Amino acid sequence: MRQRHRAWADDFLRNNTNLVIPEPEKQKGHWRELFARDLPIHLEIGTGKGQFINGMAERHPDVNFIGIELAKSIIVMAGSKIKNSGRTNALLIHADASDLTELFAENEIASIYLNFSDPWPKKRHAKRRLTFHTFLQQYQHILQPGGEMTLKTDNQGLFEYSLVSFSSFGLELKDVFLDLHDANDPENVMTEYEEKFAAQGQPIYCCRAQFT
Ligand code: SAM
């Protein structure tokens, strides 16, 4: 069963190289050329099964989206969603997002989304958190001046840590929600994890911050 699933994922990646871009490091500095229209590029890190990127691409036809996801069996689900929707303003990268400067040139990205990133709660794993200062340095490099990042999480510890990390790095906090759904933001597009946690009654923490 597992073998069949893996074969399906391999087939999907082989047959959809215009959607899940192989050898993404070769596109560094040239991502805009892969889209049908030349528009600002927004990047989601840890795309999961693709509900967010697909929903955002539908809601914002004036933005090009790229999603990065490490797990092969998961990224093909995101790929299927985008493919079935017929949208041309979303692409995927099957890669580890540990060094984004290998994948993107300076100023190539307009906005970054971190949705329900792994919290790495142990102190000795702090440097793996996607809001650790070494990641913020990478984001600052690939983002255009004044670029924004948006963090959504159910994890209070990661949220508190990230607010401190953003502030220490000099980011300007634009919006902070301790319960995003209570705020009823009509612009919010839910992720798979967000739906699950919200259904359990857990608050969704959200922060939008800008590099100055
Ligand atoms: N964003 C989705 C959501 O909110 O429903 C999925 C959240 S899930 C907790 C975290 C996702 O990030 C997983 O699919 C995992 O494979 C991916 N991920 C974790 N570390 C990553 C990395 N270094 N590079 C790319 N993806 C990563």
Helices (H), 34-143: 51-59, 72-85, 133-142
- Per-residue model confidence (pLDDT) at position 2: 55
Task: Tell me which architecture the domain covering 9-206 has in CATH.
Answer: 3-Layer(aba) Sandwich (3.40)
pLDDT at 7: 87
pLDDT for 1 equals 45
CA angle 183-188-191, nearest 5°?
A: 115
Cα 163 to averaged position of ligand 1 atoms, centre (Å) = 20
> Which stretches of the chain drop beneath a pLDDT of 70?
1-4
Pairing between strand 205-210 and 143-153? antiparallel
Task: Please report the atom of ligand 1 found closest to the CA of residue 98.
Answer: 23
Q: Which of 130, 89, 116 is nearest to 192 (CA)?
A: 116
pTM of the full structure: 0.96
| Known catalytic membership, residue 118 | yes
Closest CA relative to residue 177, chosen from 3, 168, 187: 187
Q: Which of 117, 188, 200 to probe ligand 1 with, by most ligand atoms within 8 A of CB? A: 117
pLDDT at 103: 98
> Which secondary-structure segment (H or E) carries 169?
helix 156-169
> For residue 1, how many other CB atoms are within 10 A of its CB?
5
30 CA to centre of ligand 1 in angstroms = 24
Residue 3: predicted pLDDT: 54
With a threshold of 0.85, tell me whether the complex ipTM lies above it. yes
Under 8 Å between Cβ of 56 and 123? no
